[in-house]
Amino acid sequence: MIATGQTLKAVEEVKGRSLWVDARRRLLKNRAAVASIVILALVALLAVLAPLLSSYAYDDVNYDIISCAPNWWPAEAACRAPGHIFGTDAVGRDLFVRVLFGARVSLAVGLVATLVSLLIGVLYGAVAGYIGGRTDALMMRIVDILYSLPFIFFVIILMVMFDRNFILLFVAIGAVEWLTMARIVRGQTLSLKQKEFIEAARAGGVSPLGIITRHVIPNVVGPVMVYVTLTVPGVILTESFLSFLGLGIQEPLTSWGVLISDGADQMETAPWMLLFPALFMAVTLFCFNYVGDGLRDALDPKDR
Amino acid sequence: MSALLEITNLNVHFALADGDVHAVKDASLSIQESECLGVVGESGSGKSQLFLAAFGLLAANGHATGSVKYRGEEILGAPPRRLNALRGGAVTMIFQDPLTSLTPHMKIGAQITEALMLHRKISRAEALTRAREMLDYVRIPESARRLRQYPHELSGGMRQRVMIAMATITGPDLIIADEPTTALDVTVQAQILEILRALKTDKKTAIAMVSHDMGVIAGLADRVQVMRHGEIVESGSADEIFYAPRHAYTRMLLDSIPKADEMPSPVTAIGAPLLTVDDLKVTFPVKDKGLFGKTRLLRAVDGISFILHQGETLGVVGESGCGKSTLARAVLQLLPKSGGRVVWLGRDLDAQTQSDIRKLREDFQIVFQDPLASLDPRMPVGVSIAEPLKALEPHLSRETVRDRVRAIMSRVGLEPGWINRYPHELSGGQNQRVGLARAMIVGPKMLVCDEAVSALDVSIQAQIVELIRDLQAETGLALIFISHDLSVVRRLSHRVMVLYLGRVVELAPSAALYSAPRHPYTRALLSAVLTPDPRAERLRKRELLTGDLPSPLDPRAQLTFLKSKLGLKSRPDGPEYRPKLEQVAPDHFVAEHD
């Protein structure tokens, strides 16, 4: 049966493996996840190399070709702009290069803010849940207080205090997103703490920090991954919302959120202005979801 | 006479992601009117699936073929309407876990009458009267009040009695009891078996008794079928199976049951006392319901003292809630204690800092009850085994750790090549070996086994007990062996300590305790032990305790066996009187009793 095959294999592979090595191997076996990683890498590469890929700058205004369709656009269009493969926007800027510059902002905000929230949230939640008692109560009340601050009010105060700044966007979004993460992880940790294998680790002399990093965090990965895949799109949308209010990215810089909201206004006359940024964003978000699913499965040895 | 239930060539298949599992292979059996058929087998033998399949209760991915006849009528693949009429009416079932098989939000009265009103057209009031009679029949005290209670308000034994009442109230011809006593304490198990026996004799109900425990089957079954890997390997009358087993597997099952004459490994050398526990107390605050509920103290361990010597095994027995696991955790400094002292090799553990205690863990280790739950599901077993070594001896090189992991793995009977396996890929017995390897790798002087073999099949149990005994003989390890199973404890222990509600009721050398128990509770526990000897079981008169274990929150519970001192207090406002331990022979201590 399967068991004998595995025994043979195990005898050959005598070198010890860890969860992370196994997880990488399992992740690489998941085709959807690997394809998604490749696409995400491609999008990121395009974003980084954006200035080299186009002869237009992202803020080159050309009033002769306002809202023009690309040459290959199959449908009727008021005007065509040869050389602009995604067409042009309402002030005649090249849409292709703008979508790529938008990718820079959106990906950076999405990834950095999520990573920050992941780091703070997981550590904070795991520590609060594992220590428990008064420490836990105090730490979670702090979270409750931060939760109750109105988000927009908070952003406006930040903007007023430190002037408008790209970094502030990360700070503002990260400061809000980690709260939910901390709550999720704390809840999971509380139930994990009752498990016998945690007690076994304590009996084995493992320090509290060792238990949190070696036993608690790997075991909360499932729900955390699901939440992360929801957070990245959420953050990208939050950024576009802030930009829409004039609190985020400012012209001539742009992001996918801004491009989509601009494109949505002209959907009937110039559909390409909505189509391309939306396509990029949709593909990216899909990929994030597949990678998240893949990671969750890869980190669960029962799925081997 | 035609059989009540006749199963011929029943096959059950499950379609799983990894392929098809043939859970029951060509099983045939029959049950006559008012007969008890015992079906024995270890976990995974397909014994439960056999009956679930027969009555159309398989999981969605299961598929059954063959023939199942109830009073001559083919019911395999019968329409759900017909099966529904049969199930709960003429054929009823009792499952292992009485909490999960009762609906949590329905009152006991409503649950019992539900089936009755479906199958017999009677009024609600009449049904409730019948339900009360039924509760009286299964010996539930205060039946009228119980009808208005919810399942969680009852104890495990009481719930199982409610299940039996539900299964009997419609007057069935056949009751299928699937491991009905496995989740219960021994004394409660004995009570439940008494009720089932009464059902068989008074009401002439046929019973299909599914169990892994030969002892449970022995006292009840007229005929026995032994199952293994989905096949019936042997069937015959109870006497044939127990006294003249033909199949090797049946013999193996019977042999793995601990025998009375087995002796523990000799104490290698009784040196200085390793561990001294003096008047240890552990209490948990329990808050009453409501905003202003009073906080009361639950005394899980209420003044326990003992001394453990090197190379000695101390057995700790008691029923659930007696504080035996709490005692283990408090001794190992995994739980804060609220009073008393624990002295390890002359060092008072109270005086040590947390990091000192962590270093001392090299000397005392623990093996847990549930082998799967006590291993991190996301860690290969090799990493789990190495963990205490890495934590306690961080200076060791990678190679040394690896070599020691391999050495200990082969010592406990695991392939060293399995280091990369995950716990879910190993069987329960193998996982328990991993747990044992993890505890033994640091070379402890004392090992606590907290129900370490209780979750395992009997044949595996015997192997693990053997392994523990070997390890002890080799290393001169001191053992605290905790179990609810008196026969397993007897096999290993030099001395045995019986706990009742957080206090010691009897502490004596193994031989003395088993041959001449002094305390009524010890006697009741011993009398509840089942032996795989049908003739003896049928004749045996048991010293049964009535009712359930009292709540440890009740201050008078301690005086269950000392009623004469009830209400007597040392001071007018002082605590309730506690029975004192008295020495009746050298090394033999018994708590005061009437």
**Helices (DSSP H) in B371-457: which residue ranges?**
381-392, 398-411, 428-440
pLDDT one-digit tens code per residue, B417-441 = 888 888 888 888 899 999 999 999 9
Of the ranges B256-265, B489-498, B529-538, the best mean pLDDT one: B489-498
Q: What percent of chain B has pLDDT over 90?
A: 20
Whether A21 maps to a domain, the answer reads no
Whether A114 maps to a domain, the answer reads yes
Domain count, chain A: 1
Q: Which of A33-47, A128-142, B3-17 has the lowest mean pLDDT?
A: B3-17
Whether B204 maps to a domain, the answer reads yes
Mean pLDDT confidence for B192-204: 86
Verify whether the Cβ–Cβ distance B392 to A204 is below 8 Å: yes
Nearest to A99 by CA among A271, A250, A256, A232: A256
| Residue numbers of the domain that contains A254 | 40-303
pLDDT surpasses 50 at A13: no
CB B310 within 8 A of CB B563: no
Q: What is the DSSP string of B390-408?
A: HHH-TTS-HHHHHHHHHHH
* H or E segment to which residue A120 belongs: helix A95-131
Verify whether the Cβ–Cβ distance B368 to A202 is below 8 Å: no
- Which residues have a Cβ under 8 Å from the Cβ of B342 and sit 6 or more positions away? B275, B276, B277, B278, B280, B330, B331, B333, B348, B349, B350
Mutate one of A8, A131, A202 to test the B interface: name it (highest B CB count within 10 A): A202
Whether B518 maps to a domain, the answer reads no
Cα separation of the two ends of chain A? 16
Whether A32 maps to a domain, the answer reads no
Return the residue matching tokens 């003896």: B536
Verify whether the Cβ–Cβ distance A205 to B417 is below 8 Å: no
Whether B585 maps to a domain, the answer reads no
Return the residue matching tokens 């939760």: A147
Whether B166 maps to a domain, the answer reads yes
Whether A58 maps to a domain, the answer reads yes
Whether B94 maps to a domain, the answer reads yes
- CATH code for the domain in which residue B160 is found: 3.40.50.300
Estimate to the nearest angstrom the gap between the alpha carbon of A204 and the chain centroid: 38
CB A217 within 8 A of CB A181: no
What pLDDT is stored for residue B263 in this prediction? 64
Whether A183 maps to a domain, the answer reads yes
Give how far Cα B334 sits from Cα of A199, B331, B424, Å: 8, 8, 26
Whether B574 maps to a domain, the answer reads no
Q: What percent of chain B has pLDDT over 70?
A: 91
pLDDT one-digit tens code per residue, A248-299 = 777 778 888 888 888 888 888 888 888 888 899 889 988 988 888 888 888 7
Domain count, chain B: 1
What pLDDT is stored for residue A2 in this prediction? 39
**Residue A128 C-alpha, separation from nearest chain B C-alpha, in angstroms:** 19
CB B166 within 8 A of CB B88: no
Of B359, B361, B421, the CB nearest to A203: B361
What pLDDT is stored for residue B549 in this prediction? 63
The reported pTM is 0.81
Question: How far is the C-alpha of A272 from the C-alpha of A259, rounded, in Å?
Answer: 11
- The pLDDT confidence band at residue B571, using thresholds 50, 70 and 90, is low
Whether B213 maps to a domain, the answer reads yes
pLDDT surpasses 50 at B155: yes
pLDDT surpasses 90 at B214: no
Which residues of B111-263 form beta strands (DSSP E)?
Answer: 174-178, 206-211, 223-228, 231-237
Mean pLDDT confidence for B20-44: 88
Give how far Cα B256 sits from Cα of B75, B463, B487, Å: 38, 9, 11
Verify whether the Cβ–Cβ distance B391 to A7 is below 8 Å: no
The neighbouring-strand residues paired with B236 are: B224
Of B18, B361, B420, the CB nearest to A17: B420
- Which residues have a Cβ under 8 Å from the Cβ of B516 and sit 6 or more positions away? none
Note whether B368 contacts A: Cβ–Cβ < 8 A: yes
- CATH code for the domain in which residue A154 is found: 1.10.3720.10
Three-state DSSP class for residue B28? strand
**Amino acid (one-letter) located at A69:** A
Note whether B476 contacts A: Cβ–Cβ < 8 A: no
- The pLDDT confidence band at residue B568, using thresholds 50, 70 and 90, is low
Average pLDDT across chain B, whole number: 85
| Residue numbers of the domain that contains B100 | 34-48+79-255
Cis? peptide before B380, omega within 30° of 0: no
Question: How far is the C-alpha of B180 from the C-alpha of B38, rounded, in Å?
Answer: 12
Tell me the ipTM for this assembly: 0.78
